[in-house]
């Protein structure tokens, strides 16, 4: 096992190295572009000085200046253009531009030995942008050497300003103020250079101090470049660290979500009730939780709770609270006793001062007797006899708040068709941009508006209503809801349903409706076609036979969950079970083949299950297809 680990480790280092070099490379490209722009800017400046030189505004000879400035223009322009053309994406560009830039500045310095001295620091300062100490140091050394040479050469050849200290004139020469350019001629015709003095003057008094000062500047530049690179590395490490933390958080969030029952329908073999729940954490991990579980054959427990605070601490406390409540409830205790005992355990060693609000109900599915207890949680909404209302009861104290608190239970009677809607304050306290709360009133109105639909649909609609209300405002609380429908699963509760005239003319409308719904749920083309064909077969069957030539209606409905789509076709025609039709012989030769029953046969073969029922003078045909997304 050691080998693959080592390999993995090496690979990780390699990846890290590549990633680091990536960032440096990106920086280098950006730096190249920047330097190219500086070169272009300098070229513009160069043009400006050229114009001034032509206009004879300088004290230095015109042609000397032009000889310097004109090539300089091209030395700046060409490397900059090459760099921009290559979009800065070549390693050698920095050397090219730096070398030419140095040449230009040094040649300017040689012409203006005294007043352009500062020029020679430019390449070194500019090279900091690459955050590379070796580069900056090399440029500094290169610039120094080149400028020593240029300075000496310039004075020796009397290119720039004349340094009168190094010229020996015949004894008795009288110096008067003259134009510099005339002076040069006088000097060069009548005087001669004293090389000893030249050395003393240029090297000792001018170059040496310049180099000393420049070394200080160069050292500082190199240090800045080094620090810059370190800052890039530090930033990178920080990014990696925060990436790791966010991965861990999302794993934690996954663990938390998976702790809550999240497969629906949770009890596929129970058709005496329906249940659905959702949790949307505001941060990656939240403190809300819901839970439901069968205590025995006839009792179901429903729990909705909200842990104080958010993030990892709340999630950890949630895990403890959820486990304790479920464990105690499964012992067969009543909700009040569950809360009393769980509270006692949670209070013990709760140094962080966390607490939980919770509501728990246990319903006897045989007679509808609901026993419940409330530990400081929001009142649930009940639908009793078709009317939605809050179940206000005097709540007990929060869990983990006060040791030895004695919770009380309450009882009530539910009838078939009643509903329980549980939620956390993330719903009622959702806030819009004006700071207004969604509130209990709006929640009740939203639920009342809802026609009788399936549980998943109800939660989806409430969620939509809350989202609409909130608009752009950022939400800080988890949004958790659960709905329990105490009525036999009625096949007509669908997420999409439409009624059509049972006629061939309407077939394309039917298929369009079906296919649009399938597309909304990302059903693959292959499954979508199989479902369409099945719908067509049943629909055409209804159109042709159900109403015996008279007109009638057919209802097409679809119900989606994560893995299945159920399709319902309902008509009020004569009783007819298509599943009873004999299967055609699919091995006979073409001549002996009879097409009758082929459509139904295709339905049976392509769907995962089919079911027919005659109910209240209606033919109800249900097909289920497992959808692979």
Q: Which runs of E-coded beta strand occur in 153-196?
A: 167-168, 192-193
Peptide bond into 205 cis (omega under 30): no
Residue 605 CB, nearest distance to other proteins (Å)? 4
Q: Which stretch binds other proteins (CB under 8 A): 165-173, 254-262, 426-434, 593-601?
A: 593-601
Q: Which conformational region is residue 561 in: left (phi greater than 0), alpha (psi within -120 to 50 degrees), or beta?
A: beta
Q: Which of 7, 192, 406, 508 binds other proteins (CB under 8 A)?
A: 508
Which residue carries 């003057």 as its tokens? 201
Provide CB contacts within 8 A for 497, sequence distance 6+: 555, 556, 557, 558, 568
- The two tokens of residue 296 are 């025995």
d(CA 175, CA 190): 12
Binding segment for other proteins among 196-204, 237-245, 317-325, 594-602 (CB under 8 A)?
594-602
Torsion sign over Cα 48, 51, 55, 58: positive
Instruction: Return the structure tokens found at 558.
Output: 């679809």
Binding mask 515-554 for other proteins (x = CB under 8 A): ----------xx--xx-xx--xx--x--------------
In terms of CB distance, is 6 or 593 closer to other proteins? Answer: 593
Output the CA torsion 50→54→59→64 (10° steps): 70
Q: Among residues 31, 599, 607, 619, which is the contact residue for other proteins, using CB under 8 A?
A: 599
At 399 the three-state DSSP class reads strand
The nearer residue to other proteins, 585 or 613, going by C-beta atoms, is: 585
Contact 332, 304 (CB under 8 A): no
* Residue position matching structure tokens 């979508």: 528
Q: At what angle do helices 208-259 and 311-330 cross, to 10 degrees?
A: 20
Considering the complex, what minimum distance in angstroms separates the CB of residue 563 from other proteins? Answer: 21
Q: CB of 604: closest distance to other proteins in angstroms? A: 9
User: Based on CB atoms, which residue is closest to other proteins, 324 or 607?
Assistant: 607
The tokens for 142 are 């290169």
Of 365 and 540, which has the nearer Cβ to other proteins? 540
Q: Which residue in the set 351, 505, 522, 580 belongs to the binding site for other proteins (CB under 8 A)?
A: 505
Nearest-angstrom CA–CA distance, 207 and 151: 8
With tokens 């009342």, the residue in question is: 448
Residue 334 has which token pair? 């009543």
Single residue of 551, 590, 616, 617 touching other proteins by CB under 8 A: 590
- Binding-site size for other proteins (CB under 8 A) equals 27
Q: In the bound complex, what is the minimum distance in angstroms from residue 590's beta carbon to other proteins?
A: 4
Residues between 435 and 474 that touch other proteins (CB under 8 A): none
Site string for other proteins, 471-490 (x = CB under 8 A): --------------------
512 lies in the binding site for other proteins (CB under 8 A): no
- CA dist 271 and 298 (Å) reads 13
Out of 349, 591, 616, 617, point to the residue binding other proteins (CB under 8 A).
Answer: 591
- Minimum distance from residue 551 beta carbon to other proteins (Å): 17
| Nearest distance, CB of residue 602 and other proteins, angstroms | 6
* Residue 437 vs 507, nearer CB to other proteins: 507
Residues that bind other proteins (CB under 8 A): 504-505, 507-508, 511, 525-526, 529-530, 532-533, 536-537, 540, 586-587, 589-591, 593, 595, 598-599, 601-602, 605-606
């Amino acid at each position: 096992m050691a080998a693959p680990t080592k390999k993995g480790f090496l690979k990780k280092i390699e990846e890290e190295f590549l990633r680091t070099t990536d960032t440096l490379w990106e920086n280098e490209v950006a730096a190249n572009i920047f330097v190219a722009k500086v070169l272009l800017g300098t070229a513009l400046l160069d043009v400006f000085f050229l114009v001034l030189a032509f206009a004879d505004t300088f004290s230095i000879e015109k042609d000397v200046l032009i000889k310097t400035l004109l090539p300089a223009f091209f030395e700046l322009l060409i490397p900059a253009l090459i760099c921009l053309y290559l979009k800065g994406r070549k390693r050698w560009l920095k050397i090219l531009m730096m070398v030419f830039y140095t040449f230009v500045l040094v040649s300017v310095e040689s012409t203006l030995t005294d007043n352009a001295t500062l020029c020679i620091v430019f390449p070194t300062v500019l090279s900091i942008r690459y955050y590379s100490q070796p580069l900056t140091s090399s440029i500094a050394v290169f610039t120094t050497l080149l400028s020593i040479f240029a300075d000496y050469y310039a004075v020796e050849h009397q290119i720039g300003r004349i340094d009168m200290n190094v010229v020996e004139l015949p004894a008795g020469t009288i110096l008067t103020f003259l134009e510099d350019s005339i002076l040069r001629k006088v000097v060069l015709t009548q005087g001669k250079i004293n090389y000893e003095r030249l050395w003393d003057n240029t090297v000792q008094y001018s170059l040496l101090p310049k180099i000393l000062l420049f070394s200080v500047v160069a050292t500082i530049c190199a240090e800045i470049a080094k620090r810059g690179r370190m800052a890039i590395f530090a930033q990178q490490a920080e990014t990696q660290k925060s990436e790791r933390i966010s991965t861990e958080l999302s794993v934690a969030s996954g663990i938390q979500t998976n702790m809550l029952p999240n497969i629906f329908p949770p009890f596929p073999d129970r058709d005496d009730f329906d249940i659905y729940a959702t949790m949307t954490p505001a941060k990656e991990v939240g403190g809300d939780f819901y839970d439901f579980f069968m205590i025995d054959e006839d009792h179901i427990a429903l729990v909705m709770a909200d842990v104080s605070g958010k993030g990892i601490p709340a999630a950890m406390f949630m895990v403890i609270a959820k486990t304790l409540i479920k464990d105690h409830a499964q012992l067969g205790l009543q909700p009040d006793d569950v809360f009393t005992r769980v509270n006692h355990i949670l209070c013990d060693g709760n140094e962080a001062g966390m607490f939980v609000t919770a509501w728990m109900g246990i319903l006897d599915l045989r007679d509808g007797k609901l026993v419940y207890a409330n530990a400081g949680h929001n009142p649930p909404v009940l639908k009793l006899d078709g009317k939605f209302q809050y179940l206000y009861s005097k709540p007990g104290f929060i869990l983990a708040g006060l040791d030895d608190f004695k919770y009380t239970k309450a009882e009530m009677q539910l009838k078939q068709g009643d509903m329980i809607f549980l939620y956390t304050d993330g719903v009622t306290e959702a806030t819009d941009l004006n700071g207004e709360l969604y509130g209990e009133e709006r929640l009740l109105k939203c639920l009342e508006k809802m026609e009788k639909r399936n549980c998943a649909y109800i939660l989806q609609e409430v969620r939509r209503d809350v989202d609409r209300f909130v608009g752009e405002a950022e939400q800080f609380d988890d949004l958790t809801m659960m709905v329990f429908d105490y009525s036999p699963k009625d096949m007509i509760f669908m997420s999409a349903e439409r009624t059509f005239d049972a006629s061939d003319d309407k077939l394309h409308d039917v298929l369009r409706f079906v296919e649009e719904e399938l597309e909304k749920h990302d059903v693959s083309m292959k499954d979508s076609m199989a479902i369409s064909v099945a719908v067509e077969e049943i629909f055409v069957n209804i159109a042709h036979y159900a109403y015996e030539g008279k007109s009638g209606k057919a209802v097409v409905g679809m119900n989606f969950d994560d893995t299945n789509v159920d399709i319902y076709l309902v008509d009020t025609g004569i009783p007819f079970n298509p599943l009873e039709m004999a299967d055609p012989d699919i091995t006979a030769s073409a001549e002996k083949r009879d097409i009758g029953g082929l459509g139904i046969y295709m339905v049976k073969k392509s769907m995962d299950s089919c079911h027919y029922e005659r109910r209240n003078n209606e033919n109800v045909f249900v097909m289920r297809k497992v959808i692979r997304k």
